[in-house]
C-alpha cells in the first residue's frame, strides 16, 4: 500500500464541564486527507483545499504531528500529504485536531501500524500544540478513537474511552466568525474559587457516570460549566438566546463547543435535535448572523480509511 485516503472527523471538546479533558466525536462533518509514501525522506504538504493554511511542514499541525511520529520510529521514509478541509479553522469543532489525527493515522497505516490508535494521540497532540500554544488532547483523542474520551493526564498521556448512549445526538451551530483557541484561552483566569471547582468536578463525575449508565436525566443535570463558559460566552453572538431556546426545545444541555464560536447541544433522539437546530437557526436569522448547522450522531469509529 503506497497511498491512503482518510476521513478525519470534527469533535466537540470540553462538553461543558470537562475543560481540556472531555471530548466527543462527530459524524456529520470532517476532513479528508490523502497520504502517499514517496522516495524523498520527510514530510511534504503538497495541497490544501477549503482553507488557507500554511503548506510549510513545520508550521502546519498535520506536518508537525507527522514529524513527531516519524521521529519516534526513526524512519527515513517520505510522505506527501494532501488536506481537503471541510472543517473551518477557528470554528471550535476541532479543525486542527482533525488534520493532526488524519496525518498520524494515515502515516501509521502506510508504515504497517507500528502504533495503536491510542498511542497516536501523543503525536497528534504535538501538532495541536502549534495551534493553541499548549498540549491538550481533548480534540485529538476523540478524533482518533471516536466516541467520548476523557484525558486523565497529558503527561504521561492517559486516555479513557467512555461508552456512548445510543440515542445521543449532537447539534452544532457555527456562527461565521473565527475565534482562535489561543485568544479564547487568553480570556480565562488562571485560578478558580474552590466552590466553583467543587461544582464542576461534581458535574464532570456525574456526566461520566451518566454516559456509562445511559442516564439521560443525570446527563442533563450534569451539562453545566461554571468556570469557562461565563468568560467565553461573551465572545459568541447570541449565545444566551441560543442556549435558552435549545433548552426550551428539549436539549439535554447546551454549551460552547471547544473554544468556540460554535455552540453545541446534546439531545436524546433526532426529532428533538431537529427542533433544536431549527430554533438555533431561527435565532441567528433574527440576529442576522451567518451560520452553518450540523446534526450528528456520535461517531464511535473516529479517524478511518475511506
Ligand atoms: N480544551 C480546549 C479549549 C479545546 O477549550 O481551549 C480547544 O478546541
With a cut of 90, say whether residue 130 has pLDDT above it: no
Residue 229 appears among annotated catalytic residues: no
pLDDT of residue 178: 87
For the chain, give the mean pLDDT. Answer: 96
Fold of 168-297: Alpha-Beta Plaits (3.30.70)
- Per residue in 156-190, pLDDT (tens digit) is 999 999 999 999 999 999 999 989 888 999 999 99
Residue 181 appears among annotated catalytic residues: yes
Which H, E and C letters describe the chain, residue by residue? CCEEEEEEEEEEECCCCCCCCEEEEEEEEEEEEEEEEECCCEEEEEEEECCCCCCCHHHCHHHHHHHHHHHHHCCCCEEEEEEECCCCCCCCCCHHHHHHHHHHHHHHHHCCCCCCHHHHHHHHHHHHHHHHCCCCCCCHHHHHHCCEEEEEECCCCEEEEECCCCCEEEEEEEECCCCCHHHHHHCCCCCCCHHHHHHHHHHHHHHHHHHHHCCHHHHHHHCCCCCCHHHHHHHCCCHHHHHHHHHHCCCCEEEECCCCCCEEEEEECHHHHHHHHHHHHHHHHHCCCCEEEEEEEECCCCCEEC
The residues near 226 (Cβ < 8 Å, ≥ 6 apart) are 196, 199, 200, 203
Ligand 1 atom closest to Cα of 13?
4
- Per residue in 266-276, pLDDT (tens digit) is 999 999 999 99
pLDDT of residue 105: 98
Q: Would you say the CB of residue 128 lies under 6 angstroms from ligand 1?
A: no
- Per residue in 218-255, pLDDT (tens digit) is 999 999 999 999 999 999 999 999 999 999 999 999 99
Ligand 1 atom closest to Cα of 14?
1
> What is the arithmetic mean of pLDDT over 197-210?
98
CATH of domain 3-162+301-305: 3.30.230.10
pLDDT of residue 168: 98
pLDDT of residue 220: 98
For the chain, where do the domains classified as CATH 3.30.70.890 start and end?
168-297
> What is the arithmetic mean of pLDDT over 121-137?
90
When pLDDT is cut at 50, 70 and 90, the band that residue 135 belongs to is confident
Q: Would you say the CB of residue 180 lies under 6 angstroms from ligand 1?
A: no
- Per residue in 62-79, pLDDT (tens digit) is 999 999 999 999 888 999
Centre of ligand 1 from the C-alpha of residue 212, in Å: 24
With a cut of 90, say whether residue 101 has pLDDT above it: yes
Q: Would you say the CB of residue 257 lies under 6 angstroms from ligand 1?
A: no
Q: What is the pTM of this model?
A: 0.96
Nearest alpha carbon, ligand 1 atom 1:
20
Q: Would you say the CB of residue 20 lies under 6 angstroms from ligand 1?
A: yes
Task: Choose, from 11, 149, 181, 303, the residue flagged as catalytic.
Answer: 181
Amino acid at each position: 500500500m503506497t497511498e491512503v485516503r482518510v476521513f478525519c472527523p470534527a469533535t466537540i471538546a470540553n462538553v461543558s464541564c470537562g475543560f481540556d479533558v472531555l471530548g466527543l466525536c462527530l459524524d456529520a462533518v470532517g476532513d479528508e486527507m490523502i497520504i502517499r509514501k514517496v522516495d524523498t525522506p520527510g514530510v511534504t504538504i503538497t495541497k490544501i483545499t477549503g482553507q488557507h493554511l500554511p503548506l510549510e511542514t513545520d508550521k502546519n499541525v498535520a506536518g508537525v504531528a507527522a514529524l513527531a511520529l516519524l521521529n519516534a520510529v526513526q524512519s527515513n521514509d517520505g510522505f506527501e500529504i494532501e488536506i481537503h478541509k471541510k472543517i473551518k479553522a477557528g470554528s471550535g469543532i476541532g479543525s486542527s485536531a482533525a488534520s493532526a489525527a488524519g496525518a498520524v493515522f494515515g502515516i501509521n497505516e502506510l508504515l504497517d501500524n507500528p502504533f495503536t490508535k491510542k498511542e497516536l494521540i501523543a503525536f497528534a497532540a504535538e501538532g495541536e500544540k502549534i495551534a493553541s500554544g499548549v498540549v491538550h488532547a481533548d480534540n485529538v483523542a476523540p478524533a482518533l478513537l471516536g466516541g467520548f474520551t476523557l484525558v486523565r493526564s497529558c503527561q504521561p498521556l492517559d486516555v479513557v474511552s467512555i461508552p456512548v448512549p445510543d440515542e445521543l445526538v449532537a447539534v452544532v451551530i457555527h456562527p461565521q466568525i473565527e475565534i482562535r483557541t489561543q485568544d479564547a484561552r487568553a480570556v480565562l483566569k488562571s485560578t478558580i474559587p474552590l466552590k466553583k471547582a467543587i461544582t464542576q468536578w461534581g458535574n464532570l463525575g456525574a456526566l461520566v457516570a451518566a454516559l456509562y449508565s445511559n442516564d439521560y436525566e443525570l446527563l442533563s443535570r450534569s451539562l453545566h460549566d461554571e468556570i469557562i463558559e461565563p468568560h467565553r460566552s461573551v465572545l459568541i453572538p447570541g449565545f444566551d438566546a441560543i442556549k435558552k431556546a435549545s433548552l426550551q426545545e428539549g436539549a439535554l444541555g447546551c454549551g460552547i463547543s471547544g473554544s468556540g464560536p460554535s455552540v453545541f447541544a446534546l439531545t436524546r433522539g433526532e426529532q428533538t435535535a431537529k427542533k433544536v437546530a431549527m430554533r438555533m437557526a431561527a435565532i441567528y436569522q433574527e440576529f442576522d448572523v451567518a451560520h452553518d448547522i450540523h446534526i450528528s450522531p456520535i461517531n464511535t469509529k473516529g479517524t478511518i480509511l475511506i
